[in-house]
Structure 1
Amino acid sequence: MKGLSKFRLLFFKDGLFVISAFISPLILLVYVFLRLSSPMSYMNYGPLYGGMCENPPALPPRNPNVPTPPYGSPAMSGNIIPGQAPRLVINESEAVALLQHLDRDELRALLENENKLDELVQDLMQVKNIQQDREMMLASNKSLAEYNLEIRPRFEELKQTIAKNYAEISQLKTKLAEDIGNLDVILNNQSLETILALIQADAATTEEESEKLADDFLDKKSETEQFLEEYIPKRTEAHLKRVKTEKMSDLIQNRNLSTPPMSDLHHSSFHWKDSSSGHCPYPSANSAGSFMRMPDPSHYM
């Protein structure tokens, strides 16, 4: 009985030794795996000043019309896309390869000495690659920040120019609306026949002035050079007015005989109306602002 008890005790001690020799590297492997998978081993910063986020912030596609910043960061020639953090893929095979050749004492020493375990983790190629990628991204972000600061004066200048041009356009739009309103008022008070009569009277006046110049020249009241200098422009003006008067008279007659009222024709915000309504073929004052709305750049100042 005493020999059997001793055998059982030895078997129990050997079993504990075997179990401890098997569990120690397993615990160490789990510890290394947790260190590798810890968020602190790879920073994936979000936009909230160092806040952790699961996915990197999405950036809009780069505009091809915008020139590339004149900087030569390593990230531009490597596999890292600026503004996007690489995805971390945990690979514990290298750590397992380092631990599987250690004996129990060496594994226990690693468990008891956290500094040595940190050195082991830091020597892993995956961790070194993470540190290298981090340095490359920091250099790229620094270069982008310097470039943005460099173009900021030009950006502010263009913003001021846009605001100035917007103010001028707003004034011109207001002036155009006022002119259109005045034109509507004038045309509301006069029909096409009245306008034709006024044009005919003006053409007749110009014709009489040109004939008076010819009579003065025939009566030798003016010199030849003076007559030619005054008569030719006046006669040309009278001829043009007479042609326009005849053309307008024909158009009014043809419209009254064969065409429907112009008030039935509409084109977008432009209202075309006949002489009975008094409106002209121009945009009204109410419609002037409907197609000229622009964003106010003061919101971006």
Structure 2
Amino acid sequence: MKKIIYVFFLLFSVTIFAQNIEKKLIDMDNRVITLDKDIEALVTIGAIPAINSFLFAMGKVDLIKSGVRDYSLKSFSVWKNQTYFLKNIFDLPQVSSNPPEWNPNFEVLLPMRFDIGLVSSPVMADALEARGIKAVVINWKKADSVKKTMLFLGELFHEQERVEKYLTYYDNNMNMIESITKGLNKKKSIYLGLDSMTIPMTSTANELLRKAGAITPTSNLTIENAALNIETLLVWDPDVIFVWNPSEVETAYKDIRFKNLTAVKNREVYLMPIGAHMWAHYTPEQPLAALWCAKKLYPESFKHIDIYKEAKRFYKEFMNQELTDAQLTSILER
């Protein structure tokens, strides 16, 4: 009897000990994160569509306790499309100001119950932790940021097997694109905000287009959302232009400032899709986006690719969503 009691006590002690083991991780800003239990609830602050998109890919939709309430945001494609994955996003409390500031709203945050705030900058992390909120940083500041983010989140959420499957898909797509485009005459391409004459999300857009087999005239730029003048654009003279807003395709073809651009003369100005996030930005949709871009850049070489089937497969396999044809069309042909 004493032996049975001893064994029970030992097992109970081990269980309690295991439940209270601290786990230490290094986040994407090289900050030490200490966790004493699995994450059961979280909020996203700063670059919310991007952060959410990675949580969708991790299968952690149910953990998200923050959303969008501001009426002016709800009409934008990126937010409407996030409802495909986080169906109650417009019902959840908005815990930060509108972009681009994304300032934390502590009046909303402090009464809420959650384990971590997932953020995109160390400044925001410091602000949260000054109020006693545990913060974890993910961001796009380094090369291969999408893969690195997935690897980090796989460790954070104990989803290494899921991440391994994603990385296999990622590498297979990129290797196929590289193999097909290796002997081609590479085209110059750029991602633009024509209305504002800016280069949105310069680093992630450059990485995407390079992976799609293009030469990027903006590869030496280190400033995100860099301003651009028409003289520089004419010197660069891209073969293919991808744009930010639906109206900008028409702008490219009607504004006389752009009439001498090769991309305009050849009618090769395309609207970048938006799924869980804008495809040229910081999103796990990057391997799908690279395939779409490669098909636009080199249509003959990628005519065997059915991008609708690829997108449907991707969202089902990696974001747990069986999208309708109408939803896929809203992503690919917005």
What TM-score, normalized by structure 1, do the two folds share? 0.21
Larger radius of gyration: 1
Point out the structure with the larger strand share: 2
* Structure number with higher helix proportion: 1
